[in-house]
Amino acid sequence: MKRSITAIASALALAVAAGPALAFHCPKDIAANNEAIAAAEKRGVSADKIAEAKRLNDEALKLHQAGKHQESIDTAAKVKGVLGS
């Protein structure tokens, strides 16, 4: 019985600690995307792709600010696909 309670308490503590860890990951991804977008502009990537990458990155920032960190990370990851990185 004690093991079960300890295991549940440990799992709960891990879940609570994971939230802030994800929260700090989003801004790094968004900042990296800003750099990738600037580099893509210099390489002459089409204006349509640049606009889509910026839109996705802005959406990722809004999701982060709303506390939707996994969605923010997933959206930020799409920027690389748009830019062909």
Of residues 9 and 54, more confidence is placed in 54
Contact 60, 30 (CB under 8 A): yes
pLDDT given for residue 25 in this prediction: 83
Is residue 7 very low, low, confident or very high in pLDDT (cuts 50, 70, 90)?
low
Q: List Cβ neighbours of 33 (8 Å cut-off, separation of 6 or more).
A: 53, 56, 57, 60, 76, 79, 80
Under DSSP, is residue 45 helix (H, G, I), strand (E, B) or coil? coil
Give this prediction's pTM.
Answer: 0.72
- Please check the confidence at residue 21 and state whether its pLDDT lies above 90: no
pLDDT given for residue 75 in this prediction: 97
Q: What is the mean pLDDT of residues 57-70?
A: 96
Please tell me the distance from the alpha carbon of residue 46 to that of residue 24, in angstroms, as a whole number.
31
- Give the phi and the psi of residue 68 in degrees, each rounded to 5: -95, 70
